[in-house]
Structure 1
Amino acid sequence: MSLDSGTSRPLYLQLRDKLLNMIREGVYAPHERLPSERKLAKRFDVSRLTVRQALSSLMHQGIVYTRIGKGTYVSDPEARRKGSIFSFSERVLQDDQIPSSEVLDRRIIPASEEQARYLQISPGDNLVYVARLRKANGVPIVVQEAYLPHSLCPGILQQIDDQTSLYSFLEERYGMKVDSADVRLKASLADDIEAERLVLTKPAAVLLREQVTFLEDGRPIEFSRATYRGDGYEFYTHIHREFVAGAGENLREPFGGGRNTKRVA
């Protein structure tokens, strides 16, 4: 079973997709160990480096996990559903609720040094800034601020409205598929603006989620800051004591500075 080396699509992405389809079809069950890198390389006629890149991509998506000295295993389906990179609309629909949005602000702004570092652009480069109030069954759940490099999605500002699912639009309009993300979560108290938008009585607990989202080729496409109602967001993951990849305070260089992003006035 070989891959197509004659296309422009990298071999590791082709292999990743094949393994993903096999997992979805039940060839490999939850918590079942995948074949070794050597066996996968021989089976698909690729290098072990290609196999390692494919498995790393699956791991970033939460599809598989590793046990040191033991190999790579298929993660639990529930953990995959909760931990995958879905847009807000996709997550709400999966919970059998109706998503809706209200655009609070949208404009082109210059990138700050912090935003430029996260998005691997130069300070002052144009960013698309979009602030939205996201709802589930009409109940305000999250205030979401997104920053995207304007050079990667020119014209998107005029296309975003209350019904736009950002990730779906990026894929359909620009052919850019979200592949992975670094996420940082922390607890906080709602400020006056957040409490008003989320219909909360102060003092009220909220969950802050900062995320740098990456495309298949590794380019960052979005930095976002979301403020969730304390009773409106659930984080679920599946971990093992032996699993250390990605562990620690800083998941990747974009969050290495440990600083917060200020709200656009």
Structure 2
Amino acid sequence: MELNKNIQQPLYQQLMVKIRDKIRSGEYKPGDKIPTEKDLSISYDVSRITVRRTIEELCNQGYLSKYQGKGTFVEAPKIYRKIEQNNNMSFTETCVANGRKPSSHILLCEITDMLPGQNEFFQMDESNRIYHIQRILSADDLPLIFEDVYIPQYRIPNFDVSRLENASLFQLLNQEYHIPKSTKGRSIIEIATATFEKATNLRIAVGEPVMLLESYIYDHDDKPLYISKENIVGSRYRLSI
């Protein structure tokens, strides 16, 4: 597996090609831990400095991610999703458009009081109750989003949360409650850091930066439908605003 030291192409670039080829061929799969710097240095007969630069470049390109004390892991190709006025793609639609298999897992479902400020969007009295649904959204079984959904109880009476396991919220609202999907919405993006709970469920390091996407979704009659708060693993996702 030695590199060609007699050509002009730098050794770190040659090594990048080798590792990228292993990722693209499936020899290194998303989530796999690659060999250590020492092992790569021995395998390809190059210095640790060359290996380190290679890994840094591949991390910058989104192929790898380094986690302190754990090693370097292969990242799945980033998912591309549109969050635009009159074109707010659902997670399921996004996965299908990217050739990935969507799935979801319910962590929590409870009926609770509205949080401060939510009544302004829902245009309801504060005494009205809402569902709080917490779930993990994954693509090809790799967790991407830790989501909190808030929806008024009256919009989904006799709600069976098990119907939402590995299912699309938009499709459930349309098929079970006859609320057609609307592309209208308003979104706010911030940068946050992953708490222990979110990091554990997303399989990332505690304190790792995440995108916090807060969306206010309407139904086909332009009436407030639900609020979604998504903690998104930035290294696995791209948004078009």
- TM bracket (short chain): 0.5 to 0.7
1:209 matched to which residue of 2? Answer: 213
Is it true that 1:85 corresponds to 2:108 in the alignment? no
Pick from 114, 118, 121 the counterpart of residue 117 of structure 2: 114
Unmatched 5+ stretches in structure 2? 1-79
1:145 matched to which residue of 2? Answer: 148
CA distance in 2, matches of 1:211, 1:157: 23
- Coordinate RMSD, CA, aligned: 2.0
Is it true that 1:98 corresponds to 2:101 in the alignment? yes
2:198 matched to which residue of 1? Answer: 194
CA distance in 2, matches of 1:207, 1:190: 9
CA distance in 1, matches of 2:81, 2:198: 30
CA distance in 1, matches of 2:90, 2:104: 12
Correspondences of 1:147-226 after superposition (within 5 Å): 147-179=150-182, 180-226=184-230
CA distance in 2, matches of 1:230, 1:81: 15
Aligned residues: percent identity? 20
Name the amino acid aligned to 2:220. Answer: E
- Count of residues paired in the alignment: 159
CA distance in 2, matches of 1:206, 1:200: 10
Would the aligned equivalents of 1:106 and 1:157 in 2 still touch at CA under 8 Å? no
TM-score scaled to structure 1, two decimals? 0.56
Would the aligned equivalents of 1:186 and 1:207 in 2 still touch at CA under 8 Å? yes
Would the aligned equivalents of 1:89 and 1:165 in 2 still touch at CA under 8 Å? yes
Higher relative contact order (CA 8 A, sep 6+): 2
CA distance in 1, matches of 2:190, 2:149: 18
CA distance in 1, matches of 2:83, 2:153: 30
Task: Note the alpha carbon deviations across 1:109-158, whole angstroms, 9 max, x for none.
Answer: 12233222222111131111110011111111000110111112212244
CA distance in 2, matches of 1:234, 1:119: 29
- Please report how far the alpha carbon of residue 188 of structure 1 lies from its aligned counterpart in structure 2 after TM superposition: 1.4
CA distance in 2, matches of 1:186, 1:164: 27
1:235 matched to which residue of 2? Answer: 239
1:130 matched to which residue of 2? Answer: 133
CA distance 1:153–1:231, shift in 2 (3 Å): same
CA distance in 2, matches of 1:105, 1:211: 19
Name the amino acid aligned to 2:227. Answer: F
CA distance 1:80–1:95, shift in 2 (3 Å): closer
Q: Secondary structure at the match of 2:88?
A: coil
Query: Which is higher, the Rg of structure 1 or of structure 2?
Result: 2
